[in-house]
Amino acid sequence: MPEHAHIVTSFEDELRSLDNRIAEMGGLAERLVDQSFEALDKRDTRLAELAIASDLAIDRHEREVESQAIAMIGRRQPMALDLRHITTAIKVAGDLERVGDLAKNIAKRALAVANEPRPKQLMGGIGHMTEIAQRQLKDVLDAYAMRDAEKAEAVWRNDGLIDALYNSLFRELLTYMMEDPRNIGLCTHLLFAAKNLERIGDHATNIAETTYFLVTGAQLAEDRPKGDTTSSTAITDRTSS
């Protein structure tokens, strides 16, 4: 095999390795979202603790992707599509790391409400949000793996679905708190869990934008479709460390 062909093949192997890391990281993130909601729904402290611990694996993958990508840029000095491929992997890994943090926060909320009641209607709403967030995450990871710009754009356009669910649940939780002040503690934790799910949807949308750019070389021209009307009320979860 000529030396040039060998170098090209080796570089392609490195790019595939980078994508494999992203796929593995995405699988871990999807599983963590599922575990965290199940822990919250079932008030399962053991599962919550397992979910919190598993976030470390996602963090490790993110560091490995970044390290490998930087090394490839320094060694290969890629251009055009290859450079876009590598920088995209760094961005996607960063968003998946944040998904892991947000899911971990939900697991922490599960620990906080372990001995609290389980209002069926409110948990059903959070469950529906989780389903949408998981679907968005799965679809966008598939779009990235298949280099499918149309699928990525569809995820981007569906971002408003989870926002609408969050708005509805936000109002329900506020009503629940006003009806009985004893519900304030539980509802506050559930409100933070819902906000974390809404933010997971945002990161799936980030990956959709990044994937679209990777495939087409162009940015999605329109403003991001947003449906969160609660922005005037500060909901910030600072338990992600």
Looking up tokens 């402290």 gives: 45
The per-residue pLDDT for 235 is 56
Q: pTM for this structure?
A: 0.88
Q: Is residue 153 scored above 60 in pLDDT?
A: yes
CA-to-CA dists, residue 1 to 6, 9, 132, 199, angstroms: 6, 10, 49, 49
CA-to-CA dists, residue 33 to 20, 38, 93, angstroms: 20, 9, 16
In this structure, how many other beta carbons lie within 10 angstroms of the beta carbon of residue 77? Answer: 9
- pLDDT by residue (tens digit) across 27-50? 999 999 999 999 999 999 999 999
The per-residue pLDDT for 85 is 93
CATH assignment, 3-216: 1.20.58.220
Q: Which of 27-36, 75-84, 232-241 has the highest mean pLDDT?
A: 27-36
Q: Is residue 5 scored above 80 in pLDDT?
A: no
- Residue-range domain boundaries for the chain: 3-216
Q: Is residue 2 scored above 50 in pLDDT?
A: no
